[in-house]
Amino acid sequence: MSKAVLPKDFLWGFATAAYQIEGAPTADGRGPSIWDTFCAIPGKIADGSSGAVACDSYNRTAEDIALLKETGAKTYRFSISWSRIIPLGGRNDPVNPKGIEFYKKFVDDLLKEGIVPFVTLFHWDLPDELDKRYGGLLNKEEWVADFANYARVMFEALPKVKNWITFNEPWCSSILGYNTGLFAPGHTSDRKKSPIGDSSRECWIVGHNFLIAHGTAVKIYREEFKPKNGGEIGITLNGDAVYPWDQEDPLDVEAAERKLEFSISWFADPIYHGHYPASMVKQLGDRLPTFTKEELDLVVGSNDFYGMNHYTANFIKHKKTPPAEDDYLGNLETLFESKTGENIGPETQSFWLRPNPQGFHNLLVWLSKRYNHPKIYVTENGTSLKGENDLPLEKIVDDEFRAEYFRGYIGALAKAVSEDGVDIRGYMAWSLMDNFEWAEGYETRFGVTFVDYEGGQKRTLKKSAKIIGPLFESIIRKD
């Protein structure tokens, strides 16, 4: 990895999300989000916690920036809390000037330190009032109009921001929020978990609405703001790498491709190709919404770049039985072991995550080919570490497991650029610091910085924070 293969202006840094780090849920006029409401329901979060304090970043932006400076980061991806900006969320509801001022100052402070802000408009935290008012993400007409208004307010408020992401991982909001019920607002057909929800239909409606809202916001940016501000806008999609469980079985090979289509291509195919994947249409039939001509005009070509979140890989085994009504994977099994007993990678604290750098390389190449070599920003990549919470501080900060993860994944990225010609312009490690990990609460740590939640929020850089900069410096061209 000593060869300089990345472009001179390559952006590397770290990522976070508002609800996971900010805390201060009622400060300066912020309204509740669906995650504030969800966390208050007993049993929804592993340790019964919430993002009410988290890393207290709302009151510690200077400390956050100091961490970024110490690591040498060139960029910082963070998200805006919609309910700080418009506490009730709607297009006819009042805008909160204190919320606007907070993010304005933060952007200015980052730029003053030479750190490029990469801003996500929506990272799962819908204003709760919109969910109560009209069903939130399920209501295409109302929600798209409200999101468009919110997006316009932010484009207007932050003209110095040149890198915008509309949505973070719409797959998670759709499937985990409206199929399994593991994430806010917790809709599912399982009546033991939720009194409301239809897992067979709601997730596909929400996914469709995300695409329309994305296309609408991009049109506003391109027509009203890009001419005077420059800049670019895209969406961030998540997806795991895949290997057939039995490489000799064409049905497993086909299922592996289908897994990618049901996760990534569900959103990327409409944007880059103008239609949903055939495998989804075949399995879901009329449960998958169809695009009107007006909707397609908004969606097709609505990415200036492809935002990629990636963590792990699976072996994929086809199922012989017909798909269940609530199946969202593509009628297949995801496994950590292959037919021959090969393991995908070592265990972590997260049940779903096992490191596999080769899978990252393969997926980068797959994306590049399928979507005609788009400009890619890796907007999240990282790992938890098994039992990290139970270790003494000196062991926590010596996180060789996480450092090795980054070495492997950054090496795979460099190889995809140098050997396969993939156009990668940036990389943001998840996460700048330990934080509220959604349904896993504070039982899981993903940070390159240890946060002592009980001990006055003291932050301590881990080994992994210190190796990323030198790694990139060695592979970014100087000329």
Question: Angle, nearest 10°, between helix axes 266-273 and 202-220?
Answer: 40
8 Å CB contact between 124 and 172: yes
Half-sphere exposure in the Cβ direction for 18 (13 Å, CA): 29
70 among known catalytic residues:
no
15, 16, 24, 97 from 119: Cα distances, Å: 10, 10, 20, 19
Distance from C-alpha of 345 to C-alpha of 312, rounded to nearest angstrom: 9
8 Å CB contact between 120 and 165: yes
**Residue 52 structure tokens:** 């009410």
Distance from C-alpha of 32 to C-alpha of 39, rounded to nearest angstrom: 11
List, in order, residues 6 or more apart from 355 with CB less than 8 Å away. 312, 345, 346, 348, 383, 405, 408, 409
**Residue 201 structure tokens:** 């239909």
Q: Which of 431, 87, 395, 241 is nearest to 440 (CA)?
A: 431
**Residue 193 structure tokens:** 């978990």
Contacts 24+ apart (CB under 8 A), 178-184: 178/137, 178/138, 178/202, 178/203, 178/205, 178/206, 179/203, 179/326, 179/328, 182/439, 183/38, 183/124, 183/438, 183/439, 184/33, 184/34, 184/35, 184/37, 184/38, 184/39, 184/124, 184/126
**Residue 397 structure tokens:** 């900060």
Q: Which of 169, 202, 437, 440 is catalytic?
A: 169
Q: Which of 401, 457, 444, 394 is nearest to 67 (CA)?
A: 457
Q: Which of 380, 388, 437, 440 is catalytic?
A: 380
How many Cβ atoms sit within 10 Å of the Cβ of residue 132? 15
What order of strands is seen across the sheet that includes strand 332-335?
A: 241-244, 313-318, 332-335
Query: Can you say whether the dihedral through the CA atoms of 361, 364, 367, 369 is positive or negative?
Result: negative
Considering only the C-alpha atoms of the chain, give the largest distance between any 2 of them, rounded to a whole number of Å: 60
473 among known catalytic residues:
no
8 Å CB contact between 344 and 313: yes
Residues, the chain = 479
Q: 């997260």: which residue's tokens?
A: 350
**Residue 356 structure tokens:** 């596999």
List, in order, residues 6 or more apart from 332 with CB less than 8 Å away. 255, 258, 259, 316, 317, 318, 319
8 Å CB contact between 261 and 268: no
The residues annotated as belonging to the active site are 169, 380
